[in-house]
Amino acid sequence: MILRFKRRPTVRVGLTNDEERFANGSRTEADVIAPGSIEVRRDLMRLDGQYVRTLAVTGYPRTVAPGWLSPLIDFEEPIEISLHVHPLESAQMVKTLTHRMVQLESSRQIDIRNKRIPDSEREIAYQDMERLRDALQRGDERVFSVSIYVLLRAGSESALDDLSRRVRVAIGGMLAASRVTTWEQAPGFQSCLPQALDQLLVYRNLDTSSLATTFPFASSSLSMPDGVFFGVNRHNRSPILFDPFDQSLENANLVVFAKSGAGKSYFSKLLALRTLFTGVDFLVIDPEDEYRRVCAAADGQYIRLASSSGQHLNPFDLPPAASDDEEGRDPLAEQVAAVLSLLELMLAERQGSLDTHERAVLDRALYQAYAEAGITPDPATHDRPVPLMRDLGRVLASTAGDIPASLAGRLRRYTEGSLAGLFAGPTNVALSRSMVVFNTQALEEELQALGVHLITSFVWTQVRRSRRPRLLITDEAWKLMQYEAGGAFLASLSRRARKYYLGLVTVTQDVSDFLDSVHGRTVLTNAAIKLLMKQDSSTIGPVVEAFQLSDQERQFLLGAGKGEGLFFARGSHVPLQVEAAPLEHRLVTTSPQELAQASEPQPPGAMGGDLEAA
């Protein structure tokens, strides 16, 4: 059966014939959204080139939990769910339930008289009716007629059959039942339109508590008004729009755990590119030279730290003077403590620390080095040039005693030896761009942790001079966490960053070692946002324990593909699929094959067209 519709002219009172004809010649909303023809078949309808089918939910589970319709709400493909609710008069329902209870009791007495085994379903129904009647009489509950219909759309009849099968399987998994509205597709379609008309009348009586669990108040999606696109929800394909600095979050700290090649750096680079448009500055510690192209595309500042580099960060730089609301703060004492933390990394054994006497000697030597430069606790002296690492070495060498001599000998490699280039001069870089990348790839292995600590300490000093939203990415953070002093510094930064409009983004693939560290646990605890990507079976145990993952989430992480993960924020666990536009992908990919192809000579203007279009 094929129905074709033609819009009838609307009769308008008080218009001349020409005015009425002119009014009928204008386009209306119905002309825009109505199909040209509708073909109604036994079990489907065809709207122009689209096939639709209506399913009616006919059976409901005996017991449900809030959000029991989530498998349909979060279905992997777009479907339309129509929920019709009609309240029933409580007084009439009490009479109906009482009459029905009398019938069931009579049936029960007949069975007892005839010595038959009681019907268990009848006993359960009697108890349910009695409980509902009492609740209605007290006014605690009401009764509603509820209808649930599902409208499916597809581009072909075979695709519609496949979608129908998968949706009915999902409904069956909810311990509910459904059927195709055979020979009732037209009324079913109209029942799913936003006009509040139930023409199928396939309803079920529910009380208030049961109805409340049916409303789709909860869905595993995240969207913020000022958020940027993080990816899509793998369950319902809804976009995840997230703002790390949203006021509903405790802080802007983010941890990213994933095995090598799972896409953690890919995600971090996309996060930087997109968040820059919202006015957030990005600071990146890049140990593998992965952010160079992103930095160039964002017109950022690229700083290469190496022993032979001409760019330097002086750890002796003082933080800004105390503000009016920070009365009593001593900037010099703060910086002495920060440099002492760096010296622990330089002079102590791995996983170890300096003893009490060594720390006391260094503390005294640091104050003396500042004093020789004319800097004292008096804030008026803090504008003078600060000392360098070699000045501290000279102070230690001139101090009598075995401990100063030992410390001076260990420090000599960083002041006069092969590793002296990193601390050779005063700071000659500034955070003058919206994106600043610190490349530490050329640093020797033993200087990697020092470089990360030096950069984070420098950034921490700078961000306190002006408060604006910033995110600091520490890639391969375990290189710093494996040292006691480095771990303590990163943990302290995660606790204090929020006060200065800074978010700490911690990225690592050494998950088990990170979680075994006390400081690593502190960083995790102080992160309001978390992303878990593909995990290895050898490291999944600590992750499951730390994040309290379900068996389903555990299996998802073990089998996750590139760019897939679990996104944790505001109490939600959302399965995330990271997606990038073609131009973004070319900027952030680290695939050797794609990078090799990109390095081949391109036809003139091949890349420029994309950039202009972007």
* pLDDT band per the 50, 70, 90 thresholds, residue 611: very low
Number of domains in the chain: 4
pLDDT score of 13: 59
pLDDT score of 260: 84
Are 421 and 434 contained in the same domain? no
Which of 464, 500, 529, 554 shows the shortest CA–CA distance to 268?
529
Are 248 and 207 contained in the same domain? no
Q: Give the helix, strand, coil percentages of the chain, each rounded to 5.
A: 45, 20, 40
Rounded Cα distance, 300 and 473, in Å: 15
User: Does residue 436 carry a pLDDT above 70?
Assistant: yes
pLDDT score of 607: 37
Q: Mean pLDDT throughout 139-145?
A: 85
User: Does residue 169 carry a pLDDT above 80?
Assistant: yes
Last residue of a domain, one of 426, 448, 479: 426
Dihedrals phi, psi of 608, to nearest 5 degrees: -65, -35
Residue 484 lies in a domain: yes
* pLDDT band per the 50, 70, 90 thresholds, residue 323: low
pLDDT score of 11: 52
Are 81 and 181 contained in the same domain? yes
SS (H, E, C) 123-146: HHHHHHHHHHHHHHHHCCCCEEEE
Indicate the pTM of the whole model: 0.63
Residue 137, phi-psi category: left (phi > 0), alpha (psi -120 to 50), beta (remainder): alpha
583 or 608, higher pLDDT = 583
Q: What is the DSSP letter of 427?
A: -
* pLDDT band per the 50, 70, 90 thresholds, residue 453: confident
pLDDT score of 252: 92
Q: Mean pLDDT throughout 338-350?
A: 82
User: Does residue 613 carry a pLDDT above 70?
Assistant: no
Q: What is the CATH number of the domain that holds 530?
A: 3.40.50.300
CA 257 vs CA 40, 444, 605: distances in Å: 52, 25, 39
Residue bearing tokens 């200087």:
447
Residue 54, phi-psi category: left (phi > 0), alpha (psi -120 to 50), beta (remainder): beta
pLDDT score of 75: 80
Are 418 and 464 contained in the same domain? no
In the chain, what percentage of residues exceed pLDDT 90? Answer: 25
Q: What is the DSSP letter of 61?
A: -
Residue range(s) defining the domain that contains residue 585: 581-614
Amino acid at 201: L
* pLDDT band per the 50, 70, 90 thresholds, residue 152: very high
Are 453 and 525 contained in the same domain? yes
pLDDT digits (tens, 9 = 90+) for 462-502: 887 778 899 999 887 877 777 776 788 888 889 988 888 99
pLDDT score of 454: 84
Which of 292, 170, 178, 285 shows the shortest CA–CA distance to 236?
170
Are 38 and 156 contained in the same domain? yes
Are 41 and 183 contained in the same domain? yes
pLDDT score of 200: 92
pLDDT digits (tens, 9 = 90+) for 510-552: 787 788 888 888 999 999 999 999 988 888 888 888 888 888 8
What's the mean pLDDT when you consider all of the chain? 83
Are 558 and 449 contained in the same domain? yes
Residue 417, phi-psi category: left (phi > 0), alpha (psi -120 to 50), beta (remainder): beta
538 or 181, higher pLDDT = 181
Are 439 and 388 contained in the same domain? no
Are 362 and 464 contained in the same domain? no
Which of 477, 430, 479 shows the shortest CA–CA distance to 281?
430
Burial of 217 (0-12, 13-18, 19+ CB in 10 A): exposed
Are 71 and 196 contained in the same domain? yes
Lowest mean pLDDT among 70-74, 174-178, 432-436: 70-74
Residue 128 lies in a domain: no
Judge whether 557 and 532 are in contact, CB under 8 Å.
Answer: yes
Judge whether 587 and 273 are in contact, CB under 8 Å.
Answer: yes
Are 160 and 13 contained in the same domain? yes
Last residue of a domain, one of 164, 187, 214: 214
Last residue of a domain, one of 214, 242, 273: 214
Q: Mean pLDDT throughout 579-593?
A: 86
* pLDDT band per the 50, 70, 90 thresholds, residue 605: very low
Residue 118 lies in a domain: no
Residue 41 lies in a domain: yes
Residue 159 lies in a domain: yes
Residue 125 lies in a domain: no
Judge whether 434 and 272 are in contact, CB under 8 Å.
Answer: no
pLDDT score of 415: 85
Residue 123 lies in a domain: no
Residue 101 lies in a domain: no
User: Does residue 351 carry a pLDDT above 80?
Assistant: no
- Number of residues in the chain: 614
